[in-house]
Structure 1
């Protein structure tokens, strides 16, 4: 659902840019709390292991899976948006930043999503999907039994609803700043209809990923915090754990490294190899834009001459090798950029507390 340059006029692009900038500013403050755990004691014990490296990995994984377009209807494909996945794994504020990092890398390096439309894309794909998904997820978790299956089921529903919500927001943005004269009713019907189908794929990917991480390290899933409570005993007027942790800190650290390495390898394989077999059909927005005549005003991307434009490496003639190398480079750049951003945010939190 990457909106190209030219679909939305300058005033609306600027307005969504301001919305995106404000949301990112708020998310930076919120992410400091999410990166540091739920309390000062929690930060000292677990904060460093949580979101800085994991959030960078989540951003890289979203980048990789977005390369895997899957068929959803005749001549149409879809791909992961990622807001629900990011929000549930690392928190809603950090999730907005994760998807925003992905969109920035895609726009600058791969000419995917217009640069003047970056505010539109962040508002639509990062803010809307993350907030809608996390609100639905938290609502379901409160009424469902406290179990891992409930977390996975809530993840599925939240991700499913987040995609048509993003389609609706695009329609509203287009109604206010669209550059072609088309029937908004037809645009809304087509966008929401096809993105309900895409939402099923989004839900499946999100639920499978969340379920896999919960099975290995439920303590690293933001949405599963508090799922397992330790028994507390009062000793000398203070509450202490009734038993020692099930595994020592060193073992948990090793498991954490294995999870990170496994996630990175999976991302590299998906982007570098599996992406070659992705559907070549236009995605939901591209199909609707072509059918409704919205794409008449599309402009050439400012990064069209990038050596990685259109997810290929310039001068590498073999399509499989070119796409695979571009995917691997994209995962590498995204995980480095994302991890760097989140480490900087966490260090800012630590500095603020010391001061």
Structure 2
């Protein structure tokens, strides 16, 4: 659902840029509360994983494909504020390095793919976990439903943005019907990927899933006819529970997906591209400012073998995203530690 340059006019692109910048600024402050010894090392990895999986377009209908948006996955794994930042980092890397998603449309894409998906998904997720039994299966179920609803929500958001800022005269009703219809199908793929990923992490390290915190009920014993809480076991220090295994497994998985599996992804246009072609909203699309990038189109310039070119581009993308994202999230984590440190009063 990467919106290219030329779909949305300059005033609305600028307005969504302000919305996106404000949301990112708020998320930078909110992420300082979410990031700790458990989530900080994984947030950059979550961004890289989303980048990798977004390269895996899957078929959803005749001549149409879809790919992960990632807002629900990021919000549930590392928190909603950090989730907005994760998807924003991915969109920034894709736009600058790979000419995927317009640079003047970056505000549109962050608003639609990072903010809307994350906010909708996390609101649905939190609502469900409050009413479902407090089990790991409930976390997976809530993840599935939250991710499923987040995708058509993003389609609705794009339609509304296009209704006020579209550059072509097209029936908005037809655009809305086509966008929502195809993105409900894409949402099923998003939901499956999100539920499987969250379920896999919950199965091995539930303490690393932000959305699963506080869901364990205290054990109770009946003493003299009354139920009392069982004293908590001595907690294992966070430092003693290494994240290296999960981090390494996630990085290797991301590299394999982007560097190898992506070659077998569907070549059909994604939902937005298909609707744009069918309904004529792409008539004023503009050449991407980064179209001359050595990695434009998810290939390495001058590498003639398609498999090798795409694989190298995917590996580079994962590496750059995990490095850039980790730098941002570690900086925020250190800032939180500094804010929490007692301030000396000596002169």
Query: Normalised by the size of structure 1, how large is the TM-score?
Result: 0.92
Find the residue that maps to 2:283 and give its secondary structure. Answer: helix
CA distance in 2, matches of 1:229, 1:323: 47
| Correspondence list, 1:158-307, <5 A | 158-229=146-217, 241-245=231-235, 252-253=241-242, 256-307=243-294
Specify whether residues 321 and 203 from structure 1 end up closer, same or farther in structure 2 by C-alpha distance, changes over 3 A only.
same
Shift in Å, 1:241: 5.0
- 1:311, 1:323 within 8 Å by CA — same for their partners in 2? yes
Structure-2-length-normalised TM-score = 0.94
Query: Given that residues 134 and 217 in structure 2 are in contact (C-alpha distance below 8 angstroms), is that contact kept between their aligned partners in structure 1?
Result: no
Aligned length: 335
Give the CA RMSD over aligned residues. 1.6
Listed as ranges, the matches of 1:125-144 within 5 Å are 125-144=113-132
For residues 177 and 132 of structure 1, the distance between their equivalents in structure 2, rounded to whole angstroms, comes to 23
- Note the C-alpha offset of 1:348: 1.4
Aligned partner of 2:15 in structure 1 is 15
Change (3 A) 1:179 1:81: same
Question: What secondary structure, in the 3-state scheme, does the structure 1 residue paired with 2:334 have?
Answer: helix
Structure 2 match to 1:79: 67
Following TM superposition, by how much is the alpha carbon of 1:228 offset from its aligned partner in structure 2, in angstroms?
2.5
Deviations 1:7-47 (A, max 9, x none): 00000000000000000011011100001xxxxxxxxxxx3
Supply the distance in 1 between the matched residues of 2:237 and 2:2 (Cα, whole angstroms).
45
Describe the superposition over 1:309-344 as per-residue Cα deviations: whole angstroms up to 9, x where unpaired.
Answer: 000000000000000000000000000000000011
Structure 1 unaligned blocks of 5 or more? 36-46, 234-238
Give per-residue Cα distances to partners, 1:198-223, cap 9 Å, x unaligned: 00000000000000000010001000
Q: Give the secondary-structure state (helix, strand or coil) at the position aligned to 1:71.
A: strand
Change (3 A) 1:230 1:340: farther
| Long gaps (5+) in structure 2 | 222-228
Contact 1:232 / 1:242 at 8 angstroms: preserved in 2? no
